[in-house]
Amino acid sequence: MAPDSTAPTAPGAGWGGQCSGAAPGAAGSGDPRPGRISAVLFDFDGTLTVPDTLDFGAVRQAVGCPEGMGLLEFLAGVAGPEERRRKEAVLEAWEMEAAERTRENAGATRLVSTLHRLGVPLGIITRNTLVSIERSLAQMPGIDLGWFGVVITRDLPLSPKPFPDGVHYAAEHLGVEVAELLVVGDYRFDIEAGKRAGALAMYLHNDPAGPFHGDGADFVVRSLTEALTVIEPRLAPGIQT
Ligand SMILES: [Mg+2]
């Protein structure tokens, strides 16, 4: 089961291929890349929220999505607009139901509110819809949607992660150089999108006993609390207080 709601499932054992915490530049690895940070772009599901609120396997089965294929990619290829719309509605219904049950990931409020207070431009990048994000955030009273200068969902006409388009869009709308934008996520699509755009990428390995999806990340952390300790010292001058 993939940690991103619409991402393909892992095709087999060994996929990802790297042991937890072993990525170059991992926090505490002794090889930190300095990486000045002027803005932070968060993945949503499994990053700001607890992972696995949505039963992705059940959704895939409900719409007939084959193993190893992304749900959005599958839906985009469904022949016939009526059939496609019907299957999209199935996904959306599951997403909305999951949004009602979602909870914030440990440390999310502290991390996001601290960065907001410091004046760090913030964004969200997700393969979900805006309405499901709004409904999820209603369950997370410590985080205000208004703190995010850009919220990139599949409602926007941009190629979704792992394409880099949304990361470029975020950098432009947050008014920062993409090289100083940090993408934080719990799945390989987040890391791929960030690195393909030329941004910094932080992999959140929620479950160290689970599969590692952070190949290529500049930083690897095991919690959002640890993320704050990595981000704060790297904030661009003028942001740091
Ligand atoms: Mg995710």
pLDDT tens figures, 52-66: 778 888 889 999 999
How do residues 193-217 score in pLDDT, each as one tens digit? Answer: 999 999 999 999 999 999 999 999 9
Look-up: residue for tokens 């299957």? 87
Per the rule left: phi > 0, alpha: psi between -120 and 50, beta: everything else, 175 is left
Domain identity same for 139 and 178: yes
Query: 200 CA distance to ligand 1 centroid (A)?
Result: 17
Same domain, 72 and 140: no
- How many Å lie between the centroid of ligand 1 and the Cα of residue 45? 4
Residues 140 and 91 placed together within one structural domain of the fold: no
**Nearest of 7, 76, 4 to residue 43 by alpha carbon:** 4
Instruction: Count CB neighbours of 180 within 10 A.
Output: 18
Q: Are residues 90 and 197 in the same domain?
A: no
Whether 207 and 134 share a structural domain:
yes
Enclosing domain of residue 85: 56-101
Tens of pLDDT, residues 115-163? 999 999 999 999 999 999 999 999 999 999 999 999 999 999 999 999 9
How far apart are alpha carbons 221 and 213 in whole angstroms? 12
Backbone angles phi, psi at 181, to 5 degrees: -100, 130
Dump strand ranges (E) for 86-170: 122-125, 148-152
**Exposure b/e, 110-145, CB count within 10 A at least 16 = b:** ebbeebbeeebbbbbbbbbbbebbebbbeebeebee
Cβ neighbourhood burial of 198 (10 Å; 0-12, 13-18, 19+)? middle
Instruction: Measure 5 CA to ligand 1 centroid, in angstroms.
Output: 7
- 80 with 43, same domain? no
Q: How many domains does the chain have?
A: 2
For 82, phi then psi, to 5°, come to -70, -45
Task: Establish if 225 belongs to a structural domain.
Answer: yes
Is the CB of residue 52 less than 8 Å from the CB of residue 46?
Answer: yes
CA of 140 to the centre of ligand 1 (A): 16
Q: Are residues 63 and 128 in the same domain?
A: no
Side-chain-side CA neighbours of residue 153 (13 Å): 13
Cα-to-centroid distance, 35 and ligand 1 (Å): 22
Average pLDDT of the segment spanning 174-180: 97
